[in-house]
Amino acid sequence: MGFTTACKRFTFPLAFGLAGLLTASSLIGHARAAESISVDLREYHPECGVVITPGDPGKTGFLKVEWPLAAGETGQLLLDTRPGKPLLASMGIVVAGEKSTLATLLKDVDPVTFVTVGSRKSPPDRPPGMSVFNVFFDNPAKRPFQSYRARLDLKRIRVVSQGQRASVILGDVAAGPFTGELHVTVYRGSRLVNVESVLSTKENDRAYLYDAGLASVVPSWTRFAWMDTEGNLTHQNIDNEANDQPMAVRHRAIVVESDAGSVACFPPPHRFFTPRDYTDNLQNVWRGRNHRGLDERSGFGIRQAETGGGNYAPWFNAPPGTEQHLGVFYLLSRKKAHGALDETLRYTHGDRFPEIPGHTTFTSHYHMAITMAAMKEAAQGGPRTIPDFVRMFKDMNVQMIHLGEFHGDGHQKDPGPLRLPELDAMFAECRRLSDAEFLIMPGEEVDTFLGVSRPGQHSGHWMSFFPKPVYWTMKRAPGEPFAVEDPHRGTVYRVGSREDMTRLLEREHGLAWTAHPRIKASNWTPDAFRNEDYFRADTWLGAAWKAMPADLANPRLGQRTLDLLDDMANWGSKKQVIGEVDVFKLDHTHELYGHMNINYLRLDRIPRFEEGWQPVLDAIRGGRFFVTTGEVLLRDFNVGGKASGETLDLKTTTTPDTSISLEWTFPLEFAELISGDGTNVVRERIDLTDTEPFGRRTLTLRPELAGRKWIRVEAWDIAGNGAFSSPIWIEESKP
């Protein structure tokens, strides 16, 4: 196998900023064991639908893996465990007929993984006991880091099956301070091959990135293909002498073609992307020789950039002892690149959030500075333009957007002379860019009034959301009235205190919630003010969810806020968690989908800007929505006849009929019913490893809910994509 050990060391002398590149060791030869390795099949069960054949007729040191792809097609991997040989002797498709034939797509290729290892450092002013890994404001690339190419010292092989899938697990793998195994997993009914280096470290305070792909001494592919950032399918014949080249592509995929078909290579669509402030396309695929200067062979794959995407690039967390899944997918196809890419895009609905009857899509927290851009363009005269993001969102079927304007731009805390014209411009631009199928709603991220600030403790950030244009300033001088009437703007509010802010939210039926709770500038919140009246009020929605921080040991995304959702439910207030994206300016070349999530509101139409959008706030406040990355859809969640946001009375039974209707693209891993009694959280895991790709299923069960105060559901797939509901509230009145 081509896993070898090598590394590059990077240091950044202060005098030279990001300069200074030092090479450590050079490539070392194969570390494959010479003795024969037996295959442990004790955890393999043929009924999984994947056929494992140790050895090949007349050969030793081979392991054949076969599984059904589609009618008349069977996927086949031939693993070569002999020393000094590429691990994958072939990747192909067996075509049924009078005489079955093997279409060999690739041959003599090695899985390769490159791990860039840095350090984790947490900022000051954090709650006591908060993990160093619960961080966004960090930059490992500004401290020394080192890149390694993984090494496989083949000592053991075992096959583990679960549901309708099987994994070939090979050990030992080492990459610097990380050790573990290589997992090669296939799924009945799927063209996917999931290759993961599953690694852990004993060292403290480690952060990392990874690249992965396939490499070969003599490439068996003839050309590359990808979708460029303008949406054009591009082909290029292989040049065996061309050095490693990072590439900006659309849809995160690179395809290699051979005479028999093609193989698409792509990462998990969301969990591969660490949180950033900007969604710039950071050239997340690579092709060519000598990747990172650590592998002289030709190859292709996925990659991550150490810097870019804003002031902070926090990388992945690696808490000691956790198993990090550094994964990449390959899709096997007998078609040429276009067909393979089309099949790949099915897994993300073409990077589009699908329509669900009776629902509209809603997204929140965008610092796109559209107001200042509109004012600048208007001042220059000439025709007005339509920003890129409008087409981007429409192409993704994002129907309603809640902004976070004046975050680093504009004059948010001006007493009026500058702020009020900027509010005029924000409302006008939202109105101009909205139409019958697309609604942009004004909003801001605020850091004052609603918080508890103490020495060493930030008061936290929160989002404001009103059901119509509302004029308000964040300054109120002594003696100034709270509200005045403006002949052109109507009521203008002056807010100078917590009481003023609470009064404004109540009067104008607004909502507020914690942005990025328990991280960033909201490290302490909402916990710090959970007992304050304004938090307990209906105008305080709760908090927002985003996949942050990034930890590939967790099968879920955004565990930080999922835990908060459970905590808030146990605190006794009926609070909600909506999905937020929290990014800055966008353009059409960006990798937006990888950083996205979406809220599906139970709302049958999009309000027009002119009529206001109170129904949107009502749906959110009422918990009538679910949150998803897009690949897993929670079409229905019903407990005893009640949907999310509603209240169930257990007076007739404590084991109500419960149904969970799911739709998915990637095969699922599990669903989980999560409930609480006001103190404890109870989890009931539902194994879904029997699922094939592109399915629908309704789960029915009767959980015991005696003494519970709330219940919700989550579902997650093999790529870390998922969906979660808002809680259903539970009461138990006397018969």
Specify the CATH class of 6-127+140-348 in words: mainly beta
CA dist., res. 318 & res. 270, Å (int)? 18
pLDDT confidence of residue 27: 28
Judged against a pLDDT cut of 60, whether residue 33 lies above it is answered with no
Residue 31, pLDDT above cutoff 60: no
The C-alpha atoms of residue 237 and residue 235 are separated, in whole angstroms, by 7
Give the pLDDT band of residue 455 (cuts 50, 70, 90): confident
Cα–Cα distance measured from residue 349 to residue 694, given in angstroms and rounded to the nearest whole number: 10
Among all chains, which residue has been given the structure tokens 């790949």?
344
Q: Model pTM?
A: 0.95
> What's the rounded Cα separation, in Å, for the pair 701 and 382?
62
> Is a pLDDT exceeding 90 seen at residue 686?
yes
| DSSP per position, 452-497 | --BTTB----EEEE-SS--EEES---TT--SEEEETTTEEEEE--S
Structure tokens that stand for 377 in this block: 């363009």
What is the phi/psi pair of residue 26, to 5°?
Answer: -95, 175
Q: Which residue has the tokens 């559901």?
A: 713
Residues 704, 713: contact at Cβ < 8 Å? Answer: no
Model confidence over 551-592: pLDDT tens digits?
999 999 999 999 999 999 999 999 999 999 999 999 999 999
Per domain, the residue ranges of the chain are 6-127+140-348, 360-630, 635-735
Each residue of 89-133: pLDDT tens digit? 999 999 998 889 999 999 999 999 999 999 999 888 889 999 999
Residue 20 pLDDT > 60, yes or no? no
CA torsion angle 598 600 601 602 (round to 10): 180
User: Which residues, at least 6 apart from 256, have a Cβ–Cβ distance to it below 8 Å?
Assistant: 106, 221, 223, 224, 225, 262, 263, 265, 300
Residue 251 pLDDT: 99
Mean of the pLDDT values across residues 188-205?
99
Report the pLDDT value the prediction gives residue 13, as an integer from 0 to 100: 32
pLDDT number for residue 125:
86
Q: What is the structure's pLDDT at 59?
A: 61
Instruction: Give the pLDDT score at 26.
Output: 26
- Amino acid code (one letter) for 64: K
- Residue 170 DSSP SS3: strand
- pLDDT value at position 346? 99
pLDDT at 468 over 50: yes
Nearest to 360 by CA among 641, 619, 183: 619
Helices and strands, counts by H and E, the chain: 8, 45
* pLDDT at position 29: 34
Residue 35 confidence class, pLDDT cut points 50, 70, 90: low
pLDDT of residue 495: 99
Across the chain, mean pLDDT equals 95
**What is the reported pLDDT for 130?**
94
Q: What is the pLDDT of residue 539?
A: 99
For the segment 651-685, what is each residue's pLDDT rounded down to a tens digit? 999 999 999 999 999 999 999 999 999 999 999 99
Distance CA 540, CA 510 (A): 9
pLDDT the model gives residue 257: 99
Q: In 3-state terms, the chain is what percent helix, strand and coil (to 5)?
A: 15, 40, 45
- Cα separation of 126 and 522, whole Å? 10
Can you tell me which residue has the tokens 């989002």?
463
- The predicted-structure confidence for 306-345, as pLDDT tens digits, reads as follows 999 999 999 999 999 999 999 999 999 999 999 999 999 9
- Cβ atoms 170, 154 nearer than 8 A: yes
227-274 pLDDT, tens per residue? 999 999 999 999 989 999 999 999 999 999 999 999 999 999 999 999
Q: Which residues of 595-614 are buried (b: 16+ CB within 10 A; e: fewer)?
A: bbbbbbbbbeebbebeebbe
Q: How far apart are the first and last CA of the chain?
A: 68
Place of tokens 């504009």: 410
What's the rounded Cα separation, in Å, for the pair 24 and 373?
Answer: 47
Per-residue pLDDT band for 1 (boundaries 50, 70, 90) equals very low
- CATH superfamily of this structure's domain 360-630: Metal-dependent hydrolases (3.20.20.140)
pLDDT computed for residue 56 by the predictor? 56
Per the model's pLDDT, the better-predicted residue between 575 and 26 turns out to be: 575
Considering the domain 635-735, what is its CATH architecture?
Sandwich (2.60)
**Measured between alpha carbons, how far is residue 92 from residues 207, 302, 400, 432 in Å?**
36, 21, 44, 53
Q: Which residue has the higher pLDDT, 84 or 717?
A: 717
What does the pLDDT look like over 266-315, one tens digit per residue?
A: 999 999 999 999 999 999 999 999 999 999 999 999 999 999 999 999 99
pLDDT at 304: 98
Instruction: Report the percent of the chain where pLDDT is more than 70.
Output: 95
The predicted pLDDT at position 58 comes to 52
By residue count, the chain amounts to 735
If we measure between CA atoms, which residue out of 530, 550, 548, 549 comes closest to residue 540?
Answer: 530
Question: Each residue of 253-291: b (16+ CB within 10 Å) or e?
Answer: bbbbbbebbbbbbbbbbbbbbbbbbbbbbbbbbbbbbbb
Alpha-carbon separation of residue 705 from 145, 361, 575, 658 (angstroms): 50, 31, 20, 11
Between strands 695-701 and 165-175, the pairing is unpaired
d(CA 408, CA 429): 19
The DSSP secondary-structure symbol of 623 reads T
pLDDT of residue 263: 99
Of the listed ranges 60-64, 572-576, 687-691, 731-735, the least confidently predicted one is 731-735
